[in-house]
Amino acid sequence: MDTKEKSLHQLGTFGVVGDVFKIIQSQPKLLRTITLVSILSPVLITLTNIFIGPHVFSMIFYQEIYEVWDLYILNWMEFMVLELVWTTLFFVGLMPSIGVVGYTVADVYNGEQGNSITSLPAVWKRMLITCLWYFLMNFVIILGCSFVLLLSVMIQYWLLLLVGMVIGLVVFVYLGMYVAIVWQVANVVSVMEEEYYGWEGMKNSRHLIHGKRTTAWALFVALIVIVGLFNFVAVIGCFCLVGFGAKLLYAIAYVVLACVINLMWEVTQSVLYFVCKSHHGHSVDEWCSLESCHEKTNNNNC
C-alpha cells in the first residue's frame, strides 16, 4: 500500500473502513497471530462473564422479590466486583494487541514487513497509564452527573427533576462517548509517540481528532451499535440455549465473531490515528515502525 499515491487526510468514514479491510487482507498471517496471542484471552474472559454475570444478576432479582436484604446487598457487591474485574482484565488483555496492531498498520503504510510482537513490552506501560487516566475521567463524569441528578431530586419539583435528569443523561452520554473516542485514538498515540501518554496522550489525541470529528464519531457510534447488538444477542442466547452441545457451538461462534470484531476495531483505531495525523500535515514516512524504532534507539536517533 503506497501512501505516496494516496491522500490519507482525504479519507472519510467509508474510506477508513475500506483501508481497514485492505490492511487485514494484506497481513493475514500476522493478524491471525495477534488474534491468537492477545485478543483471544480477553474474548474468553468476556464469554465467561456472559455466562456468570446473568446468573448472579438473576439471584439479585430473586432476593429483591423475596426481600432477602442481606443476600441482596452481598450479591450486588459480588456483581459489581465481577464487572470491575472483567473490565480491568479485558482492557489490560487487549493492550498488547492494540500495540502490535498499531505498528503493523504503520509497517503497511510504510511498505515494510516487520513483526513487532517481540518488542511489545516497550509500550505496555505507556498504554496502561493512558487507560488509568481514561477510567479516572469517566469516574469524574459519573460523579458530576450523579451530583446533578441528586440536586434535581432534592429540589422536589417534578419539572425541574425531569429537566435535571434529561440534562444529566445527555451530558453523561455525550461526555462519556467523547472521552471514549479520545481514549481510543490516545491508545495508538501512546504506542506510536513515546513522549505522549497518560494525560498528555489524551490531550494530543483530542488535538488530532479536531478536524476529523465527524469520521471519529461515525466510526465509534457504529462500533457501539455493532457491539451492543452483538452482546445483546449473546446474552439472550446464553439464557435461551439448553444442552451442552448447543452451548458449545454458541461459545465457539461467539469467540470467532468477537475476535473478528475486536481485531477490526483495533485496526480501525490505528487507521484513524494515521488519517488524523495526515490531516494535520504529518507524513506517514516520518513514523518509524517498532523494529526500526528500537534499532534507532540503540543508535540514539529515535
Range of the domain at 118: 3-291
- Burial of 125-138, coded b for 16+ CB within 10 Å and e otherwise, reads ebbebbbebbeebb
**What is the structure's pLDDT at 70?**
59
Number of domains in the chain: 1
As given in the structure block, the three cell numbers for residue 82 are: 465481577
Please tell me the distance from the alpha carbon of residue 211 to that of residue 15, in angstroms, as a whole number. Answer: 16
Whether residue 157 is contained in a domain is answered as yes
**What is the structure's pLDDT at 190?**
86
What CA–CA distances, in Å, run from 175 to 126, 168, 199, 209, 248? Answer: 24, 10, 16, 15, 39
**What is the structure's pLDDT at 63?**
54
Helix (H) or strand (E) holding 256: helix 244-279
Please tell me the distance from the alpha carbon of residue 135 to that of residue 140, in angstroms, as a whole number. Answer: 9
Residues of the chain scoring pLDDT < 50: 1-5, 115, 288-302
**What is the structure's pLDDT at 113?**
57
**What is the structure's pLDDT at 284?**
59
Whether residue 32 is contained in a domain is answered as yes
**What is the structure's pLDDT at 283?**
62
**What is the structure's pLDDT at 65?**
53
Whether residue 267 is contained in a domain is answered as yes
Whether residue 65 is contained in a domain is answered as yes
Whether residue 35 is contained in a domain is answered as yes
Q: pTM for this structure?
A: 0.78
Whether residue 302 is contained in a domain is answered as no
**What is the structure's pLDDT at 160?**
67
- Cα 48–chain centre separation: 19
**What is the structure's pLDDT at 148?**
72
Q: How many other CB atoms sit within 10 Å of the CB of residue 243? A: 8
Whether residue 72 is contained in a domain is answered as yes
Whether residue 301 is contained in a domain is answered as no
